[in-house]
Structure 1
Amino acid sequence: MIAERGPLLPEMMIRLLAKNELAMTLPLVQELNPGVPPDVLAQRLQDMTAQGYRCAAAFTDDCCIGVAGISLGTRFWCGRYLDVDNVIVAPQYRGVGIGQQLMDWVENYAHKEGCEIMVLDAYVTNHPAHRFYQRNGYQIVGHHFVKSLRSTG
């Protein structure tokens, strides 16, 4: 009996999106943020883009199958850094190495940009993401504190 293999990695390319292409990432971003209305995500994308947000995207044929948002910055404690935001692979393409290739591409980009470190946030309940990032050499070194400023009434 021949063991069944998982899905094969599709032929793909990864590239940085132009500003006018960023909206194509919104369906994938919606998957990670199902409680945020699409029009709110679109407005936030515009705001983020004005603040320097960029996005690497993986394509097979002409279909966007994975994204990794990136922002560059500098802080006292670490120097120049690249912040990775919303790494998402379309459900039908998960488990075949696309997320790994996106992270490798982003790390190479960070090196080219002279970054000293890469940082990212993952929801505390997203244990598969924790394992993935830890396999990629990320360490949990602190807590990301959040205080809501939204009115409740």
Structure 2
Amino acid sequence: MDRRLLIRLLAKQELTIILPLVQVLNPDVLPDLLAQRLEDMMGQGYQCVAAFLDDDCVGVAGIWQGTRFWCGRYLDVDNVVVDPAYRSSGIGRQLMDWVEQYARQQGCEIMVLDAYVTNHSARWFYERMGYQVLGHHFVKSL
């Protein structure tokens, strides 16, 4: 990779640049609906970290902060996506390392994330980075 990688927190007005990569992870959700959900999420404290090669956004990781009884202050990582053309080049690891440093600076005690049970490469990636499966995330459609 000859180009320089820059990782940074996006400003609120920049967040729409993540939508093409979020679409990769959520192909069954219509683009207009993703845009509406992003708008809703922004009002709920959603932030996003992006990885750039020159001016190209090649990776994103959404983040939320909160506090829970069982763990104290935490950072929830959401929709981590690296452009398929750049996977296995170290961008995902660098992106997650940046997020971890940010979580420490914010006084978070832990980081949490979900990965689809069918996404075996994501599970392998997160386990290599030191994440452990602690429980199950249950979902009930309404």
- The TM-score with structure 1 as length reference comes to 0.91
State how far apart, in whole Å, the 1-side matches of 2:2 and 2:45 are.
31
In the alignment, structure 1 residue 121 sits paired with structure 2 residue 91: no
Bigger Cα Rg: 1
- Asked whether the 8 Å contact 2:3–2:54 carries over to 1, the reply is no
Note the 1:80-91 alignment, pairs <5 A.
Answer: 80-91=73-84
Seen in structure 2, the aligned counterparts of structure 1 residues 96 and 10 have a Cα distance that, compared at 3 Å, is farther
CA RMSD of aligned residues (A): 0.8
2: distance between equivalents of 1:102 and 1:81?
18
Structure 1 vs Structure 2: percent identity of aligned residues? 71
CA-to-aligned-CA distance 1:19-63 (integer Å, 9 cap, x gap): 000000000000000000000000100111100000000011111
* Cα drift, residue 10 of structure 1: 3.7
Name structure 2 gaps, 5 residues minimum. Answer: none
Q: Structure 1 residue 9: deviation in Å? A: 6.4
Say whether the 8 Å CA contact 1:9–1:97 is kept in structure 2. Answer: no
Letter in 1 for 2:49: A
Q: Which of residues 44, 49, 61 in structure 2 aligns to 1:56? A: 49
Q: Do the aligned residues in 1 keep the contact of 2:10 with 2:48 (CA within 8 Å)?
A: yes
Paired residue for 1:131, among 93, 112, 124? 124
Which residue identity lines up with residue 142 of structure 1 in the other structure? G
| Partner Cα separation in structure 2 for residue 12 and residue 104 of structure 1 | 13
The number of residue pairs the alignment matches comes to: 142
**Secondary structure of 2:104 counterpart:** helix
1:110-137 Cα shifts (integer Å, max 9, x gaps): 0000000000000001010000000011
Q: Is the 8 A contact 1:17 1:56 kept in 2?
A: yes
SS at match of 1:125: coil
Once residues 85 and 16 of structure 2 are traced to their aligned partners in structure 1, the CA distance between those partners, rounded to angstroms, is 21
Q: Which amino acid aligns with 1:111?
A: R
Among 78, 93, 103, which residue is 1:110 paired with? 103
Q: What TM-score comes out, normalization by structure 2 length?
A: 0.98
Code of the aligned partner of 2:50: A
* CA distance in 1: counterparts of 2:75 and 2:92, whole angstroms: 17
Decide whether the 8 Å contact of 1:9 with 1:98 is kept in 2: no
